[in-house]
Amino acid sequence: MKGRYLLGLLAAFALSFASYNTATDKMGVFDPSVLQIDQEMYLGKKLGNYTVLTERGWKDIKTIIGNKPTILQLAYYTCDASCPILTQNLLRAVKDIDPKDFNVLILSFDRKDTIDTLKAFKKKLGNVPPNWTFGLLQEDDIKKLTKEIGFKFFYSEKDRTFVHPNVLIFLSPEGKVMRYLFGTFPQTKDVKLALLDAQKENPSVTNLLDLSLLVCYRYDPTRSRYVFDPFVIFPLAGIALFTGVLALSFFYKKPKEV
């Protein structure tokens, strides 16, 4: 058990900034780059129509998304390392975000998973908000979906564990892939901005002000983080400074009343 846990943690750390389904080279050395997702190739692609088996029966994935930005995590429910770590950290990252504004969908890519393993995985997480859905896919749909979003994985017979990317995929209300966040420790700021990114094509009246935040940030794919955009911040600071100088100049030049 310890060996599986350590292997999972090593995979998680190796995939913090790069995507972690192939095996080793001729020398038996694993090359994590083979699991890397070419984001530009998949951004903007719309998911197909899949039927998901949940605790409450079969549901259409469009119904689960429900015209809201949605965070998708692909995991396997018997994992005792990086999958539950990422899910737990996502729970923490979104605790202060209104659950009415988005959905979370956790789907298993392991054809051997069942409703029982799903429930056991969910139970370990503790209290899960109502906007979270855990589901299973048919084997053919697992292949189609993972190919559709560039998610590669393979099963290590020796270690009895899956090697796969640790990634959150942000979907638009229409089901388009809008952003990838890699690593097992998502930050609240990045999750909030990625959710805004996921909805920018079809903004609601209530989040127009929030969307203005995206003007000040840009997504850095090398770090899988949102960072301040200096090409926006510095000009805005210059305009604010110029406006302040003009205001002070006007104030001091204003003739005094006799």
Give the pair of three-digit tokens for residue 55. Answer: 């605790």
83 labeled binding residue = yes
In Å, what is the CA distance from 17 to each residue of 50, 130, 165? 29, 30, 10
Taking residue 177's Cβ as centre, other Cβ atoms within 10 Å add up to 21
Query: Strands (DSSP E) along the chain, which ranges?
Result: 51-54, 57-60, 70-75, 103-108, 132-135, 154-156, 161-163, 167-171, 177-182, 217-220, 225-228
As given in the structure block, the two tokens for residue 222 are 């090398």
79 annotated ligand binder? yes
Q: Is 216 annotated as a binding residue?
A: no
Question: Which residues, listed in sequence order, are joined to residue 106 by a DSSP beta bridge?
Answer: 73, 134
- Helices and strands of the chain, counted as H and E runs: 9, 11
Residue among 137, 140, 112, 136 nearest 122 (CA): 136
Bind-site residues for Cu cation:
79, 83, 164
**Binding positions:** 79, 83, 164
